[in-house]
Chain A
Amino acid sequence: MCVGLEQVLGGVGSVITFTDGLPMGQSIFEFLFKYRPVVFERGDFTFLAPWTGLVVALVLVVLAVPTVFQYLRVKGKSSFSDRLILSGFRATVLGLVLFSLFRPILVLSTVVPQRNFVGVLLDDTQSMRIADADGAPRGQFITDEFSPGTDNLLSALSERFLVRVFRFSSSTGRAEDASELSFAGGRSDVAQALDHARQQLSSVPLAGLVLVSDGADNSYKSIDETILALQAGSIPVHTIGLGQRTYDKDIELTRVETPRRVLNGTSLAVDLMVMNRGFAGRTVALQVEDAGRIVNTQDVTLGGDGEAVPVRVIFTVTEPGPRVFKFIIPEQAGELVAENNVQQALIVVEDRRQKVLYFEGEPRHELAFIQRAVKEDKNLQLVTLIRTADNKFWRGGISDPDELIAGFPTTREELFTYQGLVLGSIEASYFTYDQLRMISDFVSERGGGLLILGGRQGFAEGGYSGTPVEDVLPVVLKDPVDPEFFTSVSLEITPAGNRHPVTQLGVDPEHITPWGDLPPVTVINPISDIKPGATTLLRGTGGRGADQVVLAAHRFGRGNAMALTVHDSWIWQMSAEVPLEDQTHETFWSQMLRWLVSGVADRVEAFPSADRVPPGEAVELVAEVEDESYLRVNNTDVEVTVRSPSGDETVTNMEWTIDRDGEYRASFVPTEAGLYEIRVSAVTDGERVESKVSYVESTDLTREYYESEMRASLLERVSEETGGGFYSAADAQNLVEDIQYTDSGTTVVEERDLWDMPVIFLLVLMLMSTEWGYRRFRGLV
């Protein structure tokens, strides 16, 4: 007759005990039931009396039958219902007495004193400096309770266990006690800490682990496997949560998203997420700094309490090189954490020219106006090839006299020297099938940007249906329309367009016309649908037929493809409705061509795992190597040169990963603060090709101040799924007793009597008093 009492009382215990901030509930429970809830949770309930259930039943019948018989015989003043109620009271009392006489006990395992180990993991990160524990820093609890002393958790644990203390941040190490902690770690990695402690204590009898942390893990690793390993080892993890679950007042820039590389002069649209507590609806200033120089300031209206709202800030990068941009919301009065009002991003501003090939099948004003729009852009080289007559071409912007001498490129090597490709009004039948395939590969394999313009010979009207180029397009081609067809449409920007770097024109509002106010443009290629996964950025309304997809984009393989379906965007520059000083056309085309070539890979590319790391944290490097045709090159000679801020250079061979074509890996650990330069060189096509310079900033990060409210959900999950308990700082002293009830380590079986629980005596007393009172009430005595 042994049942898991935790199934019966566990729920009650949880309600009473585990509701944070209710120690009174625990005391009442312990008073009534003699033991703390954890004892009931861990123990198995049984009766110590040697009688079997059948004997018990017989005794009950023997006792009950004469009692009932006697009650039925007595003919007093009492009614039948009185006798029924009084019988109930008396039977219950009898049951309780019998319950006690059968000696109910709890059987549970407890550790043998000083024969078991307990691992204590102490959070040694910067978030322990946050002073949200009644004005004291979180780390104060650790210092108080786990430093050498006689009246703290460490000493209490040491009386019963062999305690091993670990300190953890991004890595984990042994410590004698909390006095060795500095609370300077830049990252919390709870999973790694638990794994480390479990492995270190795997050869000793382990009663459990105690994790003392705010749970603000920012390693962003899954903890699932760690929990599975702990469950497999039957290792309970008891967690002590530090800090506030929610702050009263705080503003946090939770995230910033920037490209790693941009061309100099690019107008950057950077997205940030801003969260607040206690400042709902307030308008605050957000400023952008480039090496201490403010490059933009704008007002931001905060969302509701606890709500993260997206904010877009636009600024122009003007200084080439690796730049650390800082996004700041000044500290507001009453804020608990000021460090999380800042986000930083390392952006490499490239001052090099990217080549875009623009091929037109006929002379068009569109070409002239696009050329003029980007003429002043020193980072774009627009190479134009125009078929001025049958088999007669005009070339513009070429780098050398032989460039495009035979017309449109016929080899991958020739075409892939460009980063972007614009196809104007040129019929598909002009190209060979190989050239059409090559254009598709230019996007999908080389990672180039393709833009298709509207025109007499564009899209379906140009015969692109069924060709490899159709696959690249973000729009759906239908049957070609009558060559005489044309209509005019007014523009309308879509929500996606408002966020896209091509159509977001808000850099210089005084000289920019909103899309909806621009003069109508002409459409001769009616297109109303986009492909799945594509995005419509501009829509045309008011024309004949369905709304026109004016500008749409999507990702295709490694590259980007965009369709601009109007045939006279030069109207935005030339029209009498547009002021002379207006820069909408220039801005649009500059952003368009820059977007086309942004992120286009070179033959050798290096990708660090992080842009900014604290000193001592390893940086993984991945390099991709391609030949002149942009086909992946395996098992070639690849080396990486890492130059430290002090100028020391380290050359390391990179190993082919085997599982991915053309991918090579290596790692390094920055030890100095500052910018590390990374150059990868590889032998391909018989020559050594060098990558662009990548950068990693080694600096003390303040990641610990972000999302730094106590993450109780993580701590509770770890303790619950491993059989441990979750404690707040206030009730952490209970841990010392609770931790001894475990099946782990060296244990003995203990029996805990329940017959003398005060609750039984009180119940008997209450029932008898009630019976007597009832008799008085009914006049039976």
Chain B
Amino acid sequence: MRFLSAAPRLVFTLIAGFMADGGAASSNGTANSVPQHGSTFKITAPATSIAGGDLFVDLADKEPPTLKRPGSVHEFYFTRAIYGSGLASRWTPSWATDYPKADLQFLIGLKRLTNVDAYDFENAIELDDPTLRRFPFLYALEVGYMGLTDAEVNGLSNYLLAGGFLMIDDFWGTWQWQNFEMEMQRVLPGMPIVDLPMDHPIFSMFYNIDEIVQVPNVGLGKAGGPTWEYDGYHPAVRGIFGDDGRLLVAINWNTDLGDAWEWADDPFYPLAFSTYAYEMGINIILYAMTH
């Protein structure tokens, strides 16, 4: 998927700074601002940003709140984890894959289909930023290339143990799994990764999901060919539970929910995949907010 989606993302990346911050953004990318708990906001993270393609002109016109124009406070922020390692392409870091179109497009569905009072815009934060602890839901993807620094390990570990929830998406095959598993052992030592059974509430939280679907990247999905990448033939939803039995991490392996969100507006992208991706994403978010 990375390679197939790299070209359009590159274009978006180049224009991102101008779209998101009125052209004032530095080469670091979008000044991604979120309301902090106070009357002031803080620039939380540098990020490559995409304001949307042709079908998302409306979104592009919606400027995120800035220091000068604070927005209201919301119950939910779709927060994306920024980690310093891994590249999805020559220009795009792994964490920013599908960013922010997937986030924005998913938020539209989340707000329309549920009662969640969600912030309209993307929200990406570094793992070692203390501000991360103000957002109890965290999304991370392409973790097959992830190589966390000690500070990031510490930040993520404390985040999860303090009550945060991590949703993992879009990584494929055996060696990416092994890399991810190794990193998670640094974050949550001694906590095993287990398959979530189909009777787990996460599969019935909002939508009843009977089957774990392998969601292909946009290229494979539109081509109608095989849905897997590398040797990731079978999709899985796994989890890491804390000592108190709480689900800390929900892992979507050998599947790419983010691409399905991102390309849900494409008439050539199969509806079944987008539908499942939205259902699974909503279920996971509602589960995190209610358990």
Binding site for B on A (CB under 8 A): 361-365, 367-369, 371-372, 375-376, 384, 386-390, 392, 394, 396, 425, 456, 483-488, 519-522, 524, 544, 567-568, 570-571, 573-578, 580
**In the complex, what residues of B have CB within 8 A of residue A369's CB?**
136, 163
A570 to chain B minimum Cβ distance, whole angstroms, is 7
* B113, B131, B246, B289: residue with the most chain A Cβ atoms closer than 10 Å: B289
Tell which of B35, B113, B132, B288 touches A389, judged by Cβ atoms closer than 8 Å.
Answer: B113
Q: Are B134 and A574 in contact (CB under 8 A)?
A: yes
B58 proximal to A (CB < 8 A): no
27 contacts between A and B (CB under 8 A): A362-B115, A362-B116, A363-B116, A364-B289, A365-B137, A367-B289, A368-B136, A368-B163, A375-B244, A387-B115, A389-B115, A456-B117, A483-B72, A485-B72, A487-B38, A488-B39, A519-B37, A522-B73, A524-B73, A544-B39, A573-B162, A576-B158, A576-B162, A577-B130, A578-B162, A580-B161, A580-B162
Q: For B206, give the chain A residue with the smallest CB separation.
A: A388
Q: For A520, give the chain B residue with the smallest CB separation.
A: B37
Q: Are B35 and A486 in contact (CB under 8 A)?
A: yes
B35 to chain A minimum Cβ distance, whole angstroms, is 7
Q: For B246, give the chain A residue with the smallest CB separation.
A: A372
Q: Quick one: given A488-B38, A576-B158, A580-B162, are A386 and B136 in contact (CB under 8 Å)?
A: no
Task: Give Cα distance in the complex from A63 to B233, angstroms.
Answer: 145
**In the complex, what residues of B have CB within 8 A of residue A485's CB?**
72
B210 proximal to A (CB < 8 A): no
Tell which of B39, B162, B289 touches A368, judged by Cβ atoms closer than 8 Å.
Answer: B289
Task: Give Cα distance in the complex from A411 to B173, angstroms.
Answer: 55
**In the complex, what residues of A have CB within 8 A of residue B132's CB?**
576
Q: Are B158 and A368 in contact (CB under 8 A)?
A: no
Q: Are B115 and A486 in contact (CB under 8 A)?
A: no
**In the complex, what residues of A have CB within 8 A of residue B114's CB?**
363, 388-389
Q: Are A571 and B161 in contact (CB under 8 A)?
A: no
Q: For B291, give the chain A residue with the smallest CB separation.
A: A368
User: How large, as a class, is the contact surface on chain B?
Assistant: 35 or more
B286 proximal to A (CB < 8 A): yes
Convert B27-38 into 0s and 1s, putting 1 for each residue whose CB lies closer than 8 angstroms to a CB of A.
000000001011
Task: Give Cα distance in the complex from A578 to B184, angstroms.
Answer: 23
Q: Quick one: given A368-B291, A387-B115, A456-B117, are A574 and B133 in contact (CB under 8 Å)?
A: yes
Name the prevailing secondary structure of the A interface residues: loop
Known: A363-B285, A368-B290, A456-B75. 7 other contacts (CB 8 A): A369-B136, A388-B115, A394-B290, A487-B38, A519-B37, A524-B72, A580-B162
Task: Give Cα distance in the complex from A522 to B38, angstroms.
Answer: 7
Q: Which of B87-130 contact A (CB under 8 A)?
A: 113-117, 130
Q: Are B158 and A363 in contact (CB under 8 A)?
A: no
Q: Quick one: given A388-B206, A573-B162, A580-B162, are A362 and B75 in contact (CB under 8 Å)?
A: yes
Q: Are B133 and A575 in contact (CB under 8 A)?
A: yes
Task: Give Cα distance in the complex from A362 to B286, angstroms.
Answer: 10
Q: For B162, give the chain A residue with the smallest CB separation.
A: A574
B69 to chain A minimum Cβ distance, whole angstroms, is 11
B41 to chain A minimum Cβ distance, whole angstroms, is 12
Tell which of A371, A394, A576, A580 touches B206, judged by Cβ atoms closer than 8 Å.
Answer: A394
Task: Give Cα distance in the complex from A456 to B117, angstroms.
Answer: 9
Q: Are B289 and A363 in contact (CB under 8 A)?
A: yes
Task: Give Cα distance in the complex from A182 to B244, angstroms.
Answer: 62
A336 to chain B minimum Cβ distance, whole angstroms, is 55
Q: Are A389 and B289 in contact (CB under 8 A)?
A: no
B14 proximal to A (CB < 8 A): no
B164 proximal to A (CB < 8 A): yes
Task: Give Cα distance in the complex from A276 to B290, angstroms.
Answer: 54
Task: Give Cα distance in the complex from A28 to B44, angstroms.
Answer: 96
B207 to chain A minimum Cβ distance, whole angstroms, is 11
Tell which of A484, A577, A578 touches B71, judged by Cβ atoms closer than 8 Å.
Answer: A484
B177 proximal to A (CB < 8 A): no
Task: Give Cα distance in the complex from A575 to B288, angstroms.
Answer: 17
B150 to chain A minimum Cβ distance, whole angstroms, is 17
Q: Are A386 and B206 in contact (CB under 8 A)?
A: no
